[in-house]
Homo-oligomer: A and B are copies of this chain.
Amino acid sequence: MDSENPVCIGKGQPFIDGMSKASGEAMYTDDMVLPRMLIGKLLGSPYPHAKVENIDFGKALSLNGVKAVVTGRDLGGKTYGTFASRRDESGLAVKARYVGDPVAAVAAVDEETALEALDLIKVDYEVLPAVFDPEEAMEEGAPLIHDGYERNIVAYRKFDFGDVDAGFLHSDYVREDCFFSQAVCHGALEPRSVIAVYELSGKLTIWTSTQAPYKIRRCLSEVLGISQSKIRVVKPYVGGGFGGKVELNSLHVAASLLAMRTRRPVKISLTREEEMLLTRIRAPMRIYVKTGVRKDGVILAQSVDCLADSGAYASTSIMLMYNAGLTCLIPYRIKNFKYEGRMVYTNKPVTGPMRGHGANQPRFAVESQLDMIAEELSMDPAELRLRNATQAGDTSVSGLVFNSCELSKAIKESIRHAGWHKKRGNKQSNRGIGIACGGFVSGARGSGHTASGTFIQVNEEGGVVVLTGSSDIGQGSKTVMAQIVAEELGVPISDVTVLSGDTETTPIDPGTFSSRVTFYAGNATLIAAREIRSKLADIAATLMEANVEDIVFRDEKVFVRGSPEHYVSFRELAKKAEGLGHGRLIIGHGQWAPDNTQFPDRKTQYGNVSGAYSFAAQVAEVEVDRETGQVKILNFTVGDDCGRVINRLGVEGQAEGSVAMGLGQALMEHIIFGENGKIMNPSLLDYKIPTALDCIDTRLIEVGSPDPVGPYGAKEIGEGLLISTVPAICNAIYDAVGIRIKELPVTPEKILKELEKGKE
């Protein structure tokens, strides 16, 4: 790429599948129809904790149109888990652990019949005592939800760097605060769906809306006891995931069992209610933060303690609780840092990965507290952050290596554009402005396979097909891959086709999570594209009697640098290449994972877990209605360092989407648990998610400089922005009306209550 003058890198590229989606052409899993397909439905437990003693489904099975009933027993005790050390789920339970936990499933010729059959299934339960609160679950004598997990603690992470005690001792000011971040749901527009087909040869094929086809394959293999070689997972269009669609869920297991039993395709599509009840939600977390600073604002020590609610199963608990601590060390230079995080089983719906994956809750706490510290020090909160901001070249006390970092620039630019100084501090008006910062990984080192792979082929007309294992879930990863190829080969994007997410045809890829896709898959694609370019350049160099290094690919032409008028078109070159030696394939492949990362040390947790880190500073301007307590967000200014921007439109979309999602968690979304841990508001009527009318003007300022490791210097943007949105809003509210809410969401009721208190 010509860095001074790229063809499409850095430009605004409409998503290559945008038209398909907007027109309704795009086929999602639920749109698919296969001959002889049956419809499946799940039956959930009415109890939060109960052993399934017996299931009598004779009546259901004899209902006309019902083809099979399967139960937890059909799994023969096999379990799966996203992490090998926490294989605690089976999809269909023999012991139900939350209200709604699926225990059986039915396949019938249509939905009505399937629903009718559910009513005819009689389950005998041995009801067990249940527990709904993490603190209570840890107490002596609390019901044990999973065997082998003492005190129901499913994950415990701890690190201790430097000397926090000494740090606090030397601090001029120390404060301790406790915050609470509530359960919210992903709210992806597309509820999930699966179609399973099982062939006589023993081959199982799954179409499902997923972020990680290879994880689905592996987990299905574990719980069904079928070799991965006999399972194919295909990801059609996905209508959003946000982390919720990374894992295997009950519907996949049930549909597979039903397909194996009936030998017919089986489709299960979740209702919105099931989507909220049966899949994953963001972990409610209590965060205790103690921070000590010098009087000039420099942080000398920080201690963070998190207690999170796992719900009924482990999901990604061990990683989530690790992230909660890890990410505290990204934005600021903290030399003495201690972290303890516990995630605890309760008999409630399962919590799991959601955009930010454990970083959001502590960030809300730390960023809120920083403002309280700033006030105490009579210091500008932005200035306080500048004094602690990570710089390029730093290594954190935990071993994170920051090759690139423009956080300071993000802070300065965002406050400048937002008119910070003008707008701050007037607590008698109803308007306020607040800032928060954060940083995130671009993929994190896990155990086992983490590389991404890409295959590319060029056809005789110069068309390019890219096979990537990475999953586009609406974030536009396919478009990024296409841009990289278009840049390297000088072909128009319209000549590039990207196929993604089919375990049988695309190279293995861990999945779309941890903000790894542009970073890993982008680099893999770059390598593959450069292999193609190199092969074609060799041929061009021979044809043009020039040096290979002087061959330029641009605007569909291939020429010697300096002589663009003597060109051969890319198409002609492709055709020539194929003709040489009677037909050569123009194919390239690439695979990539960063060389500069390590799996964190088992004991100390020391290690550089990611190849690069993103940084952001967000400034929110709000207006609070003192009569109603309603908060209106006037605008948002986002200073973002994601290295080099590949797709300006994509990056703007992430910024707007983060702000929308963040304002939801900050102000209105709340999963309410009732008796028995049941979700009381599992519908978009009662669960208040932002709509198009709530979205606000978001100004994005890109401040990043190219990272040495990322493709063209790019880093992540999908998750890092969200984590500072909530505290920016909360800090702005404080600036507006002097109210500090430490328990999300910040509802009108809470604000009014505080305002009342203030009057007293």
**A interface list, Cβ under 8 A from B:** 16-17, 19-20, 23, 25, 27, 31-35, 199-203, 221, 227-230, 232, 445, 448-451, 453, 455, 457, 459-465, 467, 494-497, 499, 502-505, 507-508, 510, 578-579, 581-585, 587, 589, 591, 593, 597
Contact = CB atoms under 8 A, between A and B. Distances in A.
Nearest to A199: B25
Contacts of A579: 448-449
A10 B202 CA distance: 25
Given A462-B229, A505-B465, A508-B585, A35 B35 contact: no
Nearest to A458: B508
Contacts of A221: 461
Contacts of A203: 497
B578 A585 contact: no
A452 B103 CA distance: 50
Given A451-B585, A582-B451, A582-B597, A457 B508 contact: yes
A445 B591 contact: no
Nearest to A590: B585
A538 to B, nearest CB: 16
Contacts of A19: 199-201
Nearest to A594: B582
A199 B494 CA distance: 13
Best-buried of A199, A463, A584 by chain B (most CB within 10 Å):
A463
Contact of A20 (B201, B455, B461): B201
B449 A578 contact: yes
Q: How many copies does the complex hold?
A: 2
Contact of A33 (B33, B449, B453): B33
Contacts of A583: 448-451, 510, 591, 593
Nearest to A448: B579
17 contacts: A23-B200, A32-B35, A227-B461, A228-B460, A229-B459, A229-B462, A229-B494, A229-B495, A229-B497, A445-B582, A449-B583, A451-B582, A453-B457, A459-B503, A460-B508, A465-B504, A585-B591
Given A31-B35, A445-B582, A461 B589 contact: no
A655 to B, nearest CB: 26
A502 B234 CA distance: 15
Residue from the set A200, A455, A585 with the largest chain B CB neighbour count within 10 Å: A585
Given A228-B463, A450-B583, 20 more contacts: A19-B201, A20-B199, A25-B199, A25-B200, A27-B35, A227-B461, A227-B463, A228-B459, A228-B460, A232-B497, A448-B460, A455-B589, A457-B508, A465-B505, A502-B505, A507-B585, A508-B585, A582-B593, A587-B589, A587-B591
A300 to B, nearest CB: 35
Contacts of A34: 33
A627 B68 CA distance: 61
Q: Which of A228, A459, A461, A502 has the most CB of B within 10 A?
A: A459
Given A25-B200, A461-B228, A499 B504 contact: yes
Contacts of A457: 453, 507-508
B499 A505 contact: yes
A455 B582 CA distance: 19
A578 B448 CA distance: 7
Contacts of A229: 459, 461-464, 494-497
Nearest to A19: B200
A449 to B, nearest CB: 4
Contacts of A497: 203, 229, 232, 504
Contact of A35 (B33, B461, B510): B33
Given A450-B583, A582-B451, A495 B461 contact: no
Contacts of A445: 582
Given A31-B35, A199-B25, A591 B582 contact: no
A33 B593 CA distance: 41
A460 B215 CA distance: 12
Nearest to A524: B585
Given A497-B504, A578-B448, A585 B227 contact: no
Nearest to A31: B35
A585 B453 contact: yes
Contacts of A467: 505
A450 B460 CA distance: 12
Nearest to A509: B585
B495 A227 contact: yes
Contacts of A464: 229
Contacts of A228: 459-461, 463
Contacts of A591: 583-585, 587
Contacts of A35: 27, 31-33
Nearest to A577: B449
A597 B585 CA distance: 18
A581 B502 CA distance: 24
A401 to B, nearest CB: 16
Contacts of A589: 455, 585, 587, 589
Nearest to A491: B229
Contacts of A463: 227-230
Nearest to A504: B465
Contacts of A581: 593
